[in-house]
Structure formats: C-alpha cells, structure tokens
Amino acid sequence: MITTDNALDVAIDGDGFFQVLMPDGNIGYTRNGTFSRNADGLMTTSSGYVVQPQVTIPSGSSQINISQDGLVTALLAGEAAPSELGQVTLAGFANPRGLKALGENFLVETAASGAPAIGIPFTEGRGKLVQGSLESSNVNVVQQLVEMIETQRAYEVSSKSITAADEMMKYISNNL
C-alpha cells in the first residue's frame, strides 16, 4: 500500500471490491479507491462513476473519515460533532478470477464469477478499508525487464553453445 494522506483515497486490505454505477446502468467492481467528490457532492471514482451505495459529502465538510468498516463521517459546517454520511460496502465473489475486465480497472460479474456477496468491510472474510492509502501494483516493471533481458542473454549463450557443438560434430564426422 502507498500512503497518500488524501482523505478520499481508500485501499482494501484483504478481499473485496468497491461497487460503482457504470454509464450503462450496470454495477461495476474495482479495487481502485481513488475517490473524489463530484459537483453534487457524491463520492465518485477518478473516472466519474458514482460509488454504490451512494455517499453524499456536503460542500464545506471537513475532517472526512472512512473507518475500517466503511462508515463515512465528516465534520459539517457549524457542527461540533462529526455526522454520519453513509456506509461503503464491499462485494465479494466465489470466483473473483471469473470477473470480466472492462478496462480502467473496472470489472463486471459473469456466470463464472458468481453473484456478488455484498456486505460491510472487515466482516465475513471481507478486507478492511485503509483511509489515506492506495493499493499499489504487485509487479516491479524495471525488475521484470532486467530479468527478461538476463533470460534472453542466457538463451542466446545456450543457443550459440549448441550451434558451436553442432559445427564441431559436423567437422569431426566429415574429416574422419
């Protein structure tokens, strides 16, 4: 996880997917928790899709807090105590690898993935939410490229060794 200190950045530590309303009216799923507020105050993804269930963050809100179990609270203008704004839920699948990728880190359910089991984070095997963090890639691109080049060089050396041994055998068989 990468710490961003942005109040609306949320990472999932464990299993589960955020639910978003896609432009076609279907529900999409993502693990990308880079959220923001739109003009109507709704919590949205970086692509502008509304997080489901909807959470409205009024303008002028401060000290936005998203707990490990998804409860969203904020200090509203003129109030002394934080107000509850909504609940972020997570969707789990029997076979997450069966989800169909749409691009931009969005997935949709398929027959192979099964129906989503929606519930509160940090319960029933779902992951907990970590506010102010984002999930990073589990692949180091530079390291993978270096390893690929090393493998390619080893293949070239092996190939040249076989070619040299083959030519020596050909020379021996022709001269004996």
Q: Are 86 and 115 contained in the same domain?
A: yes
Asked if the model's pLDDT at residue 17 lies above 80, the reply is: yes
Per the structure, the complete domain to which residue 149 belongs is given by 139-176
Q: Are 10 and 35 contained in the same domain?
A: yes
Asked if the model's pLDDT at residue 140 lies above 90, the reply is: no
Condensed to tens digits (0 to 9), the pLDDT of residues 56-109 reads 999 889 899 999 999 999 999 888 899 999 999 999 999 999 999 999 999 999
Asked if the model's pLDDT at residue 112 lies above 90, the reply is: yes
Alpha carbon distance 107, 164 (integer Å): 51
**What is residue 133's predicted lDDT score, i.e. its pLDDT?**
95
**What is residue 137's predicted lDDT score, i.e. its pLDDT?**
80
The two tokens of residue 94 are 């029997």
Q: Are 170 and 117 contained in the same domain?
A: no
